[in-house]
Chains A and B, each alone.
Chain A
Amino acid sequence: MDIIDQLPSLLAATIRVAVPLVLAAFAGLFSERAGVVDIGLEGKMLAGAFAGAAVSSITGNVWLGMLAAVALAAVLGALHGFVCISQKGNQVVSGLAINIMVSGLTMTLGLAWFHQGGQTPPLPPSARFSEVIFPGTALLSGIPFLGAIYGRVIGGQNILVYPTFLMVPLAWWVLYKTRFGLRIRAVGESPAAVDTAGVPVVRLRYAATIIAGVLCGVAGAYIATAQGAGFVRDMTGGRGYLALAALVLGKWKPWNTLWSCLLFAALDAVAIRLQGVVIPGVGPVPVEFVQSVPYIMTIVLLAGFVGRAIPPKASGYPYVKER
């Protein structure tokens, strides 16, 4: 395997795989920085995937599918908010409940609507998000390496890839450079202080959980209508949990979280290409090992070996005024 030959496709795969991770991890970022633990990323993504595929399949319009995905996931975000903020329920339990509920409900509704065992019909190209071919791709494709980088890594990606990576600096700017972002961060550290200053804690936390829902919805639509072509039971396959791991590894900071997501995606892309490759003296690479690296890294970090991951102080605790 020639490294230089493989690098563009490796980078392109990394970006492709990273998109849902980045979106879900930033959903978690907003929610947890505001003090609401969100273990329900997986469920909200799955709901988005189902709504996106179902509506695209029925209407043939993928943008309507995206709208439905975002709307449904936002509603679930608000539901999570209702349980955790208004009812002061246990945040982990609420998130887990969303995951379980969505996993069952998507199957049941899919079965009732499409009669294909919980799957949506395969989507035709017109009902999916497609790749964007940048101008001059054909012209530059003759240039070794750089042509491939331009045509397949920078250009040639799915149309949803670009807004996702634009979202990262935007999220950073919102969280660190705006009044809203300052308040979101404050409400996750010390809600009592925010309340004392006369800023509504409840409203801010709701805003954060709904933003989280919207981002998860986009991630779900990407999985079902851009990467895939239709909904299949439990198709998010643990990506929500991987995103949580990336969030912890990124220490709840936007740029670090982005790098973690890209690292996990790169590991996956490398693992795929390493399957069956025999390393002298070691034998075939154990793929299970490479796949478990993200989780091992997160545990090592949490155990305090690589710096410390300190979650937002008030994260996990409902705010009670009279405490």
Chain B
Amino acid sequence: MHKLLTAALLATTVIAGAAHAADAIKPAILFDMGGKFDKSFNEGVYNGGQVFSKETGIKIQEFEVQNEGQREQGLRNFAKKGNNPVLAIGFAQADGLTVVAKEFPKTNFGIIDMVVDLPNVHSFVFKEHEGSYLAGMLAALASPGMKVGFVGGMDIPLIRRFGCGYVQGVKAVDPKMEVFQNMTGSTPSAWNDPVRGGELAKSQIERGANVVYAAAGATGLGVLQAANDAGKFGIGVDSDQNYLHPGHMLTSMVKRVDVATQTLFTAAKDGKFTAGISDLGLKEGGVDVAFDQYNEKLIKPEWKAKVEAAKQDIISGKIQVHDYMSDNKCPVS
């Protein structure tokens, strides 16, 4: 019933959209299971889409998948209805996109967080390990003589990449500092369980963690809440989440999925869509740590200087941050 209703709603919005945007492009976004208001990964894409809509007046069709089976279905639906380009959010969409992109060779697709090597797909991937490295440095700088923690969402190599970069950053500041690492689960529901996220964060804080870095979608909300409740510090992810708990958010590892979204749609609008891969790191401005009015009182100038120096070293190649996904191993733990 619920599914039928959403499908019906989707169909009507797509038809309505087709009526008054006949000559312009008809972009569409397929959000993943965290939902477009996860205040993190999906919401970053949503915000990017909003900016694009505001600037160009072009409406974006959206769909949020509720279960795994809907991914391929949703993509096909968009393509069938003439949406172009279609942006798929999240690594888990890759399989469905591979199938659908072959079925609709004239439709342009984009995907964030995974590479789909097809002539009509542009893939955006990010060097999360570089941004996480800086987050790890800040965590360690803020916790002299203490411990720090990391809570991941679903246990996949992509999230291990966040964790591995973070640990490397911590160890760069203090090689002896202990880092607790927890994954929320091994199914997609791990992106959406803030209560369990909070419990994981509490377990780390009780073992002495002073800063907890959450890379877990909506689960992260519980992690940051727990850090705030305990008077400790959280590090947000993907979107700038510093505003969630001012004074208790050390920083956020921002991943500019909003920029990726705008880039794809703008290129499509100008008829300049190209297939290929954008691998966005610190150098490209694809990832960074957020400094804003919510955390400026927490960040000492000398920390900022150290992070800035490390950032330049990573960009110049002087510091090589190991990428977990290159060999599925992490040199430190």
**Interface residues of A, Cβ cutoff 8 Å to B:** 1, 6, 9, 12-13, 16-17, 100, 103-104, 116-119, 122, 125, 223, 227-230, 232-235, 237, 268-269, 272-273, 275-276, 287-288, 291
Please tell me which stretch of B202-210, B270-278, B320-328 contacts chain A, meaning at least 4 of its Cβ atoms lie within 8 angstroms of it: B202-210
Asked whether B244 lies within 8 Å of A122 as measured between CB atoms, the reply is yes
**A104-B1, A228-B198, A275-B183 given; A122·B221 CB < 8 A:** yes
Interface presence of B222 (CB below 8 A): yes
Tell me, in angstroms, the Cα distance from A291 to B5 when the chains sit together: 34
- Selected from A230, A232, A276, A291, the residue in CB contact (under 8 A) with B192 is A232
Q: How far is the CA of A100 from the CA of B3 in the complex (A)?
A: 11
Cα distance A234–B187 in the bound complex, in angstroms: 14
Flag if A272 contacts B203 (CB, 8 Å). Answer: yes
Which residues of chain B come closer than 8 Å to A1, judged between CB atoms?
A: 207
Contact A288 B203 (CB under 8 A): no
| Chain A residue at smallest Cβ distance from B43 | A117
B194 touches A235 (CB 8 A): yes
- Which of B2, B35, B229 contacts A103, CB < 8 Å? B2
Residues of B within 8 A of A229 (CB): 222, 225
Q: How many whole Å from B180's CB to the nearest CB in chain A? A: 8
- A268 CA to B193 CA in the complex, in Å? 14
> In the complex, which residues of chain B have a beta carbon less than 8 angstroms from the beta carbon of A233?
35, 192
Known: A237-B196, A272-B182. A6 touches B207 (CB 8 A): yes
Q: Which residue of B lies closest to A131 (CB)?
A: B229
Interface assignment of B189: CB less than 8 Å from any CB of chain A: yes
Q: Is B172 among interface residues, defined by CB-CB distance under 8 A? A: no
Residue positions of B touching A, CB distance < 8 A: 1-2, 5, 35-38, 64, 181-183, 185-186, 189, 192-196, 198-200, 202-203, 206-207, 218, 221-222, 225, 229, 244, 333
Shortest CB–CB separation between residue A286 and chain B, in angstroms? 10
| Residue pair A117, B36 in contact (C-beta under 8 Å) | yes
B37 and A13 contacting across the interface, CB-CB below 8 Å = no
Contact B199 A16 (CB under 8 A): yes
Check if A272 sits within 8 Å of B200, measured CB to CB. yes
Q: Is the CB of A100 within 8 A of B1?
A: yes
B194 touches A100 (CB 8 A): no
Known: A16-B199, A116-B37, A227-B198. A237 touches B218 (CB 8 A): no
Closest chain B residue, CB of each to CB of A239: B195
Q: Which residues of A contact B182 (CB under 8 A)?
A: 272, 275-276
Partner of A228, one of B1, B37, B225: B225
In the bound complex, what is the Cα–Cα distance between A288 and B64 (angstroms)? 28
The contact of B37 among A6, A118, A275, by CB within 8 Å, is A118
Q: Please report the C-alpha to C-alpha distance between residue A116 and residue B186 in the assembled complex, in whole angstroms.
A: 26
Q: Are A237 and B193 in contact (CB under 8 A)?
A: yes
Q: How far is the CA of A59 from the CA of B293 in the complex (A)?
A: 29
Which A residue sits closest to B38, measured CB to CB?
A: A117
CA distance A118 to B31 in the complex (A): 15
How far apart sit A222 and B288, CA to CA, in the bound complex (Å)?
Answer: 37
Q: For A237, give its contact among B38, B195, B229 (CB under 8 Å).
A: B195
Complex alpha-carbon distance, A273 and B229, angstroms: 20
Across the interface, which residues of A come within 8 angstroms of B194, CB to CB?
Answer: 228, 232, 235
Q: A104, A223, A269: which contacts B203 (Cβ < 8 A)? A: A269
> Shortest distance in angstroms between B22's beta carbon and chain A's nearest beta carbon?
29
Q: Is the CB of B202 within 8 A of A13?
A: yes
Q: State A235–B195 Cα separation when bound (angstroms).
A: 7
CB distance from A269 to the nearest CB of B (A): 7
CB distance from B130 to the nearest CB of A (A): 23
Which partner residue on chain B sits nearest A105 by CB separation?
Answer: B2
A119 to chain B, nearest CB (A): 6
Docked pose: A17 CA to B196 CA in angstroms: 9
Q: Is the CB of A119 within 8 A of B37?
A: yes
List of B residues within 8 angstroms of A268 by Cβ: 199
CA distance A12 to B64 in the complex (A): 37
Given A9-B206, A273-B203, A100 contacting B35 (CB threshold 8 A) = no
Q: Given the complex, which residues of B lie within 8 Å of A287, measured CB to CB?
A: 183, 186
A272 to B199, CA, bound (A): 8
Cα–Cα, bound, A1→B229 (Å): 24
Min CB distance B298 to A, Å, is: 20
Find chain B residues with CB under 8 A from A272 CB.
182, 199-200, 203
Q: Closest residue to B182 on the A side, CB-wise?
A: A275
What B residues does A288 contact at CB under 8 A? 186
Distance in Å from the Cβ of B247 to the closest Cβ of chain A?
A: 13
Task: Decide: B35 and A237 in contact? CB cutoff 8 A.
Answer: no
Q: Which residues of A contact B207 (CB under 8 A)?
A: 1, 6, 9, 273
22 A-B contacts, Cβ less than 8 Å apart?
Answer: A6-B207, A12-B206, A13-B203, A104-B2, A117-B37, A117-B64, A119-B37, A119-B218, A122-B221, A223-B195, A228-B222, A229-B222, A232-B194, A232-B218, A234-B189, A234-B192, A235-B193, A235-B195, A237-B189, A237-B195, A272-B182, A275-B183
Residues of chain A contacted by B196 (CB below 8 angstroms)? 237
Q: How far is the CB of B16 from chain A (nearest CB, A)?
A: 19
The distance from the CB of B328 to the nearest CB of chain A, in whole angstroms, is 14
